[in-house]
Chain A
Amino acid sequence: MSTRVDLRLRPSMEAPSNARRALDDLSPHLPAEVLDDMRLLVSELVTNSIRHAELSDEEWVGLHIEVAGDTVRVEVVDPGPGFRPSVPTPVIYQESGWGLYLVEQVAHRWGVVDDGTIRVWFEIDGVSLPRSR
């Protein structure tokens, strides 16, 4: 089974909540706890994009989600100019930039692709729904 969500978000303060709302479409396909984790991480990445990417009103943040087999992959894309994540440190040790610490803790894998646009992605495993009772 493969399920996709592809979305363009206007770079407003409401973009993170709009992105979280888009995940509701996946609720028939994913366990509730996985969706909760995805809402958190999507919120972190979209917030980073609208904070750091200096987007104009005409630009957008892309959200791409694909559920394939037992893994969900999420990618948040912005046109830059340069959100360059560093190694995340725990929240209590720094005042800002610790959204990625949460990504590091919750996702099974994550990374950044800089191919002209900035694509921050994460994957969560074990997303197959338990058999219906």
Chain B
Amino acid sequence: MNVHTRKVGGTPWVTLSGELDISTAPEVERELTRIDREAPSRIVVDLRELTFIDSTGLRAIITADTRFRRSGARMILVPGPPAVDRVFRIALLDQRLEFSEDPESIEEDHVDEG
């Protein structure tokens, strides 16, 4: 599991690579908690390089989303490969979380608004 954060137009963009389960969820939780303390208005979590996720991994994502919402931030997920995306759909999380294939376009809108 690799957790890599960069800034895209001022927005934290977290790329998760590898497998997200009980052994790697704490690392993801730590990083998302750290970013929450920076009080961004939005954050992108990119799942495209994720090869596996289970309910422990889902819980890390939901917990972070709940915390960001409480802080007034918007967490946008870039969908993972089919095997990963399927787990979100089975868990009905596609209804609760915000997904975008192209969050940069959202970001550009945001920047345009000033």
Contacts and interface: CB of A to CB of B under 8 A. Distances in A.
Interface of A: 13-14, 16-17, 20, 36, 39-40, 43-44, 47, 50-51, 90-92, 95-96, 98-99, 101-102, 105-106
Interface stretch (B7-15, B34-42, B89-97, B104-112): B89-97
Contacts of B59: 95-96
Contacts of B22: 13, 16, 47, 50-51
Contacts of B99: none
Chain A contact residues, majority secondary structure? helix
Interface in B55-73: 55-56, 58-59, 62
Interface residues of B, number: 20
Nearest to B90: A105
Contacts of A90: 91-92
- Of all A-B residue pairs in the complex, the 6 with the closest CB atoms, nearest first, are A91-B91, A99-B55, A13-B23, A43-B54, A36-B83, A105-B90
Contact of A92 (B23, B55, B86, B96): B96
Contacts of B58: 91
Contacts of A50: 22
B87 A14 contact: no
B90 A102 contact: yes
